[in-house]
Structure 1
Amino acid sequence: MTGPSTPGTEPGRELVHRAVPYRDPEHQAEVLAGPVAGALEDNRRALVVVEPECRSELERSLGTDAGVEFCRPERMHSAPPFTVAGRWSRAVRGALADGATGVCTVSQPVDLPGTDPAYWTRLDLALDHALGDLPVEMLCCFPDGDDAREAVGALHDEFLVDGGTIPSGHRRGDHELLREYPQPPPSELGFPLVTLPVQLSGLAAMRRVVQRHAVLSGLGPERVEDLVLAVNELVSNGIEHGSGAPVLRLWRTPAGLVAEMTDSAACHLAFPGLAAPPLSGVRGRGMWLASELTDVLQVWTAEDDPGRVQGTVVRVTMGSP
C-alpha cells in the first residue's frame, strides 16, 4: 500500500531538489512509495539508486513490475562525482527522449570505496547543476538524527516529511561548499607515454598521436574516434581560452587510456562539462562534449581547489567497451 504522493514536476518545470529523512529501510521505502508511484502514474520515469534493503521494501510495496528502474549503488558510483552527475544527466535525458514527461530520481549516500563526505557533497552540487534545467524531482535520502537535518539542509532546498514538503532553512552557497569539501588532487600516474606541448599549428599532429596510442590500447574504431575528438576539444580550449600552449600527457592504465591536458591558465567554470551550454553559447561546449564522449572526465582548477593545483588540469579516461 503506497503512502500519499507529493507534488512532483510538471512538463517544462525545472529541478526540484528534496532531502528525505528516514529512520530505517522500511520507513525509507514507506516515504518513497508515494512520490515514486505518483511519478509513474504521471508518465514520469522513476530512476532509483538505493541500498538493497530499501529496494526490497519498495518492490514489496509497489510490485516488481511497477516500472521502477533500479541501479546498484556500486555501479552508479564507480566514478568521480562529476562523472556520476553526468551519468544521471544522460539517464534523465534518455528518459525524456523516450517520451517521459519528467523524471523522479532517488538516491542516498552509501559506504563505498573512494567515497567520503567530500564525494557526496560535490556529487549533490554537481547534480543540481547537471539537472537544473530539466523536469526532475530529485529525492536524496539520509538517516535522520539530531544534527543530520542541518548538515543535509545545507545542500537541499526542501525536506520531504510525512508526505509534505518543508523548506530546509539551512541552504548554503555552492561555491562555499565546494571550497569546504575539496576533491583530492590529481593522482600520480607514473611516467607518461607522451608529453606534448601543443600550439594551434600542432593540433593535427596531436590528433594523430592520440589516435595511434588509442589503437595500441585496444580501443575499437568508434571509441578511438570519440577519444580523439574529446582530446581535441580540451586542447583547443586551452589554446583558445587559456594560455595558448597547453600540455598533453598520455598514460596507459588498467582503466584504459588516460589523456590529460594541463594549462597554466585558470578555468572559471565551477562545474565544467556537466551541462550542455545553450546553442547560442560560445563557452563550455568543448568540456561538455568531452564528458559525453569519454568514460570519465575530471577537472581540477586553482579556483575550485586553491593551493592544490596550479592553473587547470583536465583528465579523460577511455577504456575498452
Structure 2
Amino acid sequence: MSSPAILVHRAVPYRDPEHQAEILTGPVTAALERGRRAIVVVDRRCRSELERALGGEAGVRYVQPEELHSAPPFTVAGRWSRTVRDAIAGGATGVCAVAQSVALPGIDSSYWTRLDLAIGYAMRALPVEMLCCFADRDGAREQAGALHDEFLVDGAAVPSTHRRDDHELLQENPQRPPAELGVPLFVDAVELHRLSEMRRTVHRHGVLSGLGPARVEDLVLAVNELVSNGIEHGSGAPVLRMWRTPGGLVAEMTDTVPGRLAFPGLAAPSPAGERGRGLWLASELADVLQVWTADDDPGQVQGTVVRVVMNPP
C-alpha cells in the first residue's frame, strides 16, 4: 500500500479486538517502515492485541480515548491536524492515524459524526492515512460509509456506495446549543474604535485568572481575532462576554449576522483567501474553540456565537 500524498480516510470494519488488531497491523507496520508516524486511539482490548502483534517497542504512539475526546469534535479534529503538522515538522513523511468510536460519558452518535466530518476537512491536504474502526454489526457499514469514501476490508480498499454530502450530515447532527454559564464577568458591545480598550480588559481578566504571560497573550490575540471578524464581516458591533469557570476562562463573541463557514477554524485558508483566517488562528491559540451558526445548527442559535476556552494552568 503506497503512502498517500494527501488524506486517505477509510472506515475499517472489524469483528472483535483480535480481528481489529490483525487488520491494523499491516498499515501501521507499513507506515513505520516508510518513515511515517503512527498514532493509535483505540480501546484497551485492541491496544493490547496490537501491542502483542507489533511489539512493545514498535514506535507507535498510543493515546487514551478519554484523553483525546475531552473536547468538542471540531476541537479534537484541530488537535489531530496540529499533531500531524508537528510530526511532519519533526521529519516524518506523514502519519498513519487509527481511531475508534468508544462509549464515553456525555458523548452521543452526533459527536462521532461531526468528528469524522471535521477530520476529513481539517486534514484534507495533509499526508495522512486515517483509519476509523467500527464494529461490523447490522447497518454499521451504511452508517460508516456515509462518512467515508472507502472501506479497508481485510487489507483491501473498497469504495463506499453510501457516501453522503457533508453539509447534509452536519445539519442532521447539530451540536448542542451553547451552555448557560451564569452571570458573565462583563458584557460589552465592541466597535472598531474600542478594540484597544477591549484587549486591555481581556488581558486583565487573563492575569486575574492565573494564566501565565504567554497564555494571556494568546488569549488576547484569539479574542481580538474573533471580535475583529465580527466588526469587519458582521454587524460592526459584536458583543463580547467572559466567564471564569472550573474548566477555564471563557470568552464568547456573539453577532446578529450568521456565519457562512461549515467547518470554522479547522484549516488555514489559502493566502489569497479573505475569510476564515481569524477563526483558524483563534483555534490554534485557544484550548477549545466552538462556533454555532444559524446555517450549521438550524434552530440552535440566531446569528453567530463563537466561544474560546483557555484551560486553567
Q: Same fold (TM over 0.5)?
A: yes
Q: What is the SS of the residue equivalent to 1:37? A: helix
1:32 maps to 2:46 = no
Shift in Å, 1:146 = 2.1
Q: How does 1:131-210 map to 2 (within 5 A)?
A: 131-210=123-202
2:66 paired residue number? 74
2:216 paired residue number? 224
1:246 paired residue number? 238
1:106 paired residue number? 98
Shift in Å, 1:282 = 2.2
1:9 paired residue number? 3
CA distance in 2, matches of 1:43, 1:275: 25
> Which portions of structure 1, spanning 4 or more consecutive aligned residues, are displaced by more than 4 angstroms?
none
Q: Which is worse superposed, 274-283 or 199-208?
A: 274-283
1:288 paired residue number? 280
CA distance in 2, matches of 1:204, 1:285: 20
2:42 paired residue number? 50
Q: How many residue pairs get matched?
A: 313
Structure 2 stretches lacking a partner, 5+ long? none
- Given that 1:301 and 1:312 are in contact with CA atoms closer than 8 Å, whether structure 2 keeps it comes out as yes
1:3 paired residue number? none
Identical residues among aligned pairs (%): 72
- Given that 2:249 and 2:312 are in contact with CA atoms closer than 8 Å, whether structure 1 keeps it comes out as no
CA distance in 1, matches of 2:139, 2:280: 37
CA distance in 2, matches of 1:34, 1:86: 27
Superposed CA deviations along residues 260-311 of structure 1, whole A, max 9, x for unmatched, are 0000001000000001112222211100000000110000000001111000
Superposed CA deviations along residues 87-115 of structure 1, whole A, max 9, x for unmatched, are 10010001111111111100010111221
- Given that 2:31 and 2:96 are in contact with CA atoms closer than 8 Å, whether structure 1 keeps it comes out as yes
- Given that 1:8 and 1:137 are in contact with CA atoms closer than 8 Å, whether structure 2 keeps it comes out as no
Q: What is the SS of the residue equivalent to 1:289? A: helix
Against the structure 1 CA distance between its residues 28 and 265, is the aligned structure 2 distance closer, same or farther, given a 3 Å change threshold? same
Superposed CA deviations along residues 147-171 of structure 1, whole A, max 9, x for unmatched, are 1101110001111112111011100
Normalising by structure 2, we get a TM-score of: 0.99
User: What's the C-alpha RMSD, in Å, of the aligned pairs?
Assistant: 0.8
- Given that 2:258 and 2:295 are in contact with CA atoms closer than 8 Å, whether structure 1 keeps it comes out as yes
Superposed CA deviations along residues 209-249 of structure 1, whole A, max 9, x for unmatched, are 10011111111100000000000000000000111110000
Normalising by structure 1, we get a TM-score of: 0.96
Superposed CA deviations along residues 29-62 of structure 1, whole A, max 9, x for unmatched, are 0000000000000111111100011111111000
- Given that 1:8 and 1:39 are in contact with CA atoms closer than 8 Å, whether structure 2 keeps it comes out as no
The one-letter amino acid of 2:109's match is P
Shift in Å, 1:8 = 4.3
Q: How does 1:236-315 map to 2 (within 5 A)?
A: 236-315=228-307
CA distance in 1, matches of 2:89, 2:135: 34
- Given that 1:103 and 1:136 are in contact with CA atoms closer than 8 Å, whether structure 2 keeps it comes out as yes
Q: What is the SS of the residue equivalent to 2:40? A: strand
CA distance in 1, matches of 2:179, 2:138: 37
- Given that 1:220 and 1:320 are in contact with CA atoms closer than 8 Å, whether structure 2 keeps it comes out as no
